Amino acid sequence: MFEKVLVANRGEIAVRVMAACEELGIETVAVYSDADRNAGHVEYADDAYNVGPAPASESYLDQTAILDVAERAGADAIHPGYGFLAENAEFASRVEATDGLTWVGPPSDAMETLGEKTKARTVMQEAGVPVVPGTTDLVDDPDEVRELGAEYGYPIAIKAEGGGGGRGMKIVRSEAEVAEALKSAQREGEAYFGNDSVYVEKYLEAPKHVEVQVLADEHGTVRHLGERDCSLQRRHQKVIEEAPSPALDAELRTEIGAAARRGVSEAGYTNAGTVEFLVEDGEFYFMEVNTRIQVEHTVTEAVTGIDIVRWQLRVAAGERLDFTQDDVSIDGHAVEYRINAENPAEDFAPTPGPLTTYAPPSSIGVRLDHAVSQGDDIGGDYDSMIAKLIVAGEDRGHCLDRSRRALDHFTVEGVHTTIPFHRLMLDDDTFRAGTHTTKYLDQELADDALDAAVARWGTDEVSGDTSAASTDEIAVEVDGRRFDVVVTDGLPRVARDGTASSASGGNSSGGGTVDVTTSGAITAEMQGTILSTEVAPGDDIAAGDVVCVLEAMKMENDVVASTGGTVASVPITEGDSVDMGDTLVVLEE
């Protein structure tokens, strides 16, 4: 077994890997950026090294810096977690080529084969696994995409070859959308995965997203650990995952598990991985392989009792899987809720800021994977996740009832979160019935339902919010009985200079949701990085036109004008960092 493992990641997954190492008696090394000097994973590790500035491209994606740290720290293995370099075959190859260093993951050649979606489709077809109709060759010409649209019928999906999680995927519903969608998919592929290659496949309108967890050792043994249902998504990003899937019957469950095993065996795959499928009308189609640990591996651990991360380390150390396929059984039901710093009432816009209150739930059936504590800042440099809440029960109904209790006792203030959305889902008939598809949130859930959920269950305190009055909740005791009392504009505040001020803070600057077009200027709704500008001085624009593309918390957001006018100036360029309220485009008076 290894003596010291460098975890090339941050946040909750870094802590999760370090916990598995700790149980195996392995020392751990953290890497961190300037923005993460005081992060939870840094505190948890036995040793920690700075690898660069806040931008991931200059720190967590800096292969040379991470390999240098591994050498300096005396690490004998690198675990990549998920995201960042986890599916980078080039980095895995560099680790494999370094004397005394082991890659905790699949072989780099298998990663290259399965990580590039066109190659993966070919492998799966050879293994007899059904695939969605599409190309096995890359495309880079809009005319070629239009020809494929005519062949398959619209809608079609343009997908980044190195992509995943909806990033680098654009849905095209007509010929007129092809050119811009192709450009956007290529841009996202380059930005997120360093690969602007794309391919095209038929887009299924209302599928379930079902994925199978696999483990394979270096001695030819492949096991699957059952499936997860990840159908509840917004903008192709998973928000709630569960195991097992409520959509599969016993026969389909057996078939899809066997298909996943055949596919990874054909590729010569080892370690942990996930084979993702789309399920529609009783048929399943291969979508992609994630050659890493998944965010949602937790629900599989909950229902199987198998520690997947521990097995990643054991397999990388050359050990054999010591259980048969028949030994794998599913006990009960588990659901993972992603607690993100996002505002569901504002199209899930990221809301970075301080966790002025952070009080997660506990008790029976509740697991929490996180790396934050009260007072920490949720920055805008990385994704918006605060924590993962995993709830397990005897069956799906019991699990959802237990989830309601857990979410009711999860208190976060300082930032908006997805907690109100999750609580809304627990009262949603479609979700409770398990009949939701990947399109449910984007196409069927009413915006006013999200608005009402945030108003009912959202945080009372969001950093930067201003309003006519502020409220505070305090506990008082009368004759031995506790009461929670809400005080409006009644509690004094102490400023940084020691002087008292009223709770209303009348001179505080604006916050919350900013109208993108204000006083002749189109402003940023959130902190982020400019990916592209879509207008130039002299252009006439109308309400709803996209003026630029802004990346915030690893998501690409179109900035649109709320009113029309003529562009006077564009004070931003590609690559600029902007803060909430910064001017992006100036319109003529």
| Cis peptide bond N-terminal to 155, omega within 30 | yes
Query: Which pLDDT value is given to residue 486?
Result: 61
**Contact yes or no for 112/90 (Cβ under 8 A):** no
Burial letters 16-43, b for 16+ CB under 10 A, else e:
bbbbbbeeeebbbbbbbbebbeebbbbe
- Strand order, beta sheet including 27-33: 47-52, 27-33, 4-7, 77-79, 102-103
- Does 109 reside within a domain? no
Query: Which pLDDT value is given to residue 480?
Result: 39
Whether residue 79 is found in the same domain as residue 49: yes
Query: Which pLDDT value is given to residue 504?
Result: 35
**Partners of 558 in the beta sheet?**
549
Over residues 231-246, mean pLDDT: 93
Over residues 31-50, mean pLDDT: 96
Whether residue 298 is found in the same domain as residue 343: no
Confidence of residue 76 (pLDDT cuts 50, 70, 90): very high
pLDDT digits (tens, 9 = 90+) for 265-292: 999 999 999 999 999 989 999 999 999 9
For 418-440, the three-class secondary structure string (H helix, E strand, C coil) is CHHHHHHHCCCHHHHHCCCCCCH
Continuous H helices in 389-497: 396-408, 419-425, 429-433, 440-443, 447-457
The catalytic position among 64, 254, 488, 566 is 566
Question: Is-catalytic flag, 566?
Answer: yes
The answer, yes or no, to whether residue 527 has pLDDT greater than 80, is no
Whether residue 357 is found in the same domain as residue 457: yes
Confidence of residue 131 (pLDDT cuts 50, 70, 90): very high
Identify each DSSP E strand in 248-356 by its residue range: 271-280, 283-290, 333-340, 342-343, 349-350, 353-354
**Contact yes or no for 189/222 (Cβ under 8 A):** no
- Does 142 reside within a domain? yes
- Does 421 reside within a domain? yes
Average pLDDT, the chain: 88
- Does 540 reside within a domain? yes
Domain boundary among 171, 202, 233: 202
The answer, yes or no, to whether residue 296 has pLDDT greater than 60, is yes
pTM score:
0.78
What do you get for the CA distance between the two ends of the chain, in Å?
69
Whether residue 431 is found in the same domain as residue 454: yes
The answer, yes or no, to whether residue 508 has pLDDT greater than 80, is no
Return phi, psi of residue 430, to 5°: -65, -45
Confidence of residue 474 (pLDDT cuts 50, 70, 90): low
Query: Which pLDDT value is given to residue 519?
Result: 59
Query: Which pLDDT value is given to residue 518?
Result: 54
The answer, yes or no, to whether residue 554 has pLDDT greater than 70, is no
Query: Which pLDDT value is given to residue 392?
Result: 98
pLDDT digits (tens, 9 = 90+) for 350-401: 999 999 999 999 999 999 999 999 999 998 889 899 999 999 999 999 999 9
Q: Which pairs with CB-CB distance under 8 Å and at least 24 residues apart come from 364-369?
A: 364/402, 365/391, 365/392, 365/393, 365/399, 365/402, 365/406, 366/390, 366/391, 366/402, 366/406, 367/298, 367/302, 367/391, 367/392, 369/12, 369/13, 369/15, 369/16, 369/298
Confidence of residue 499 (pLDDT cuts 50, 70, 90): very low
Whether residue 364 is found in the same domain as residue 281: no
The answer, yes or no, to whether residue 430 has pLDDT greater than 80, is yes
Over residues 294-312, mean pLDDT: 98
Residue 23 is part of a domain; what is its CATH number? 3.40.50.20
- Does 322 reside within a domain? yes
Give residue 128's region: left, alpha or beta (phi > 0; psi -120 to 50). left
Residue 535 is part of a domain; what is its CATH number? 2.40.50.100
Whether residue 248 is found in the same domain as residue 261: yes
- Token pair, residue 219, equals 């001695």
Select the more confidently predicted residue: 430 or 476. Answer: 430
**DSSP letter (8 states) at residue 326:** G
Domain boundary among 58, 88, 104: 104
Whether residue 289 is found in the same domain as residue 307: yes
**Partners of 163 in the beta sheet?**
none
Lowest mean pLDDT among 204-218, 241-255, 560-574: 560-574
Whether residue 524 is found in the same domain as residue 580: yes
The answer, yes or no, to whether residue 342 has pLDDT greater than 60, is yes
Residue 221 is part of a domain; what is its CATH number? 3.30.470.20
Whether residue 211 is found in the same domain as residue 325: yes
Which of 8-17, 233-242, 525-534 reaches the highest mean pLDDT? 8-17
The DSSP string of 501-565 is E-TT-TTPPP-S---SEETTEEE-SS-EEEEEE---TT-EE-TT-EEEEEEETTEEEEEE-SS-E
Residue 179 is part of a domain; what is its CATH number? 3.30.1490.20
Return phi, psi of residue 421, to 5°: -65, -45
Whether residue 186 is found in the same domain as residue 100: no
Whether residue 188 is found in the same domain as residue 273: no
SS3 49: strand
Query: Which pLDDT value is given to residue 476?
Result: 53
- Does 510 reside within a domain? no
Q: Which residue matches tokens 């007072």?
A: 375
The answer, yes or no, to whether residue 475 has pLDDT greater than 60, is no
Number of structural domains, the chain?
Answer: 6
Over residues 414-432, mean pLDDT: 97
Select the more confidently predicted residue: 137 or 251. Answer: 251
Residue ranges making up the domain that contains 173 = 133-202
Whether residue 453 is found in the same domain as residue 368: yes
Q: What angle do CA 84, 528, 378 make, to 5 degrees?
A: 70
**Contact yes or no for 173/157 (Cβ under 8 A):** no
Select the more confidently predicted residue: 104 or 589. Answer: 104
The CA–CA distances, whole Å, from 267 to 5, 220, 238, 289, 314 equal 27, 12, 26, 11, 21
Whole-number percent of the chain with pLDDT over 90: 70
- Does 48 reside within a domain? yes
- Does 237 reside within a domain? yes
Domain boundary among 331, 361, 389: 331
Select the more confidently predicted residue: 48 or 165. Answer: 48
The answer, yes or no, to whether residue 492 has pLDDT greater than 70, is no
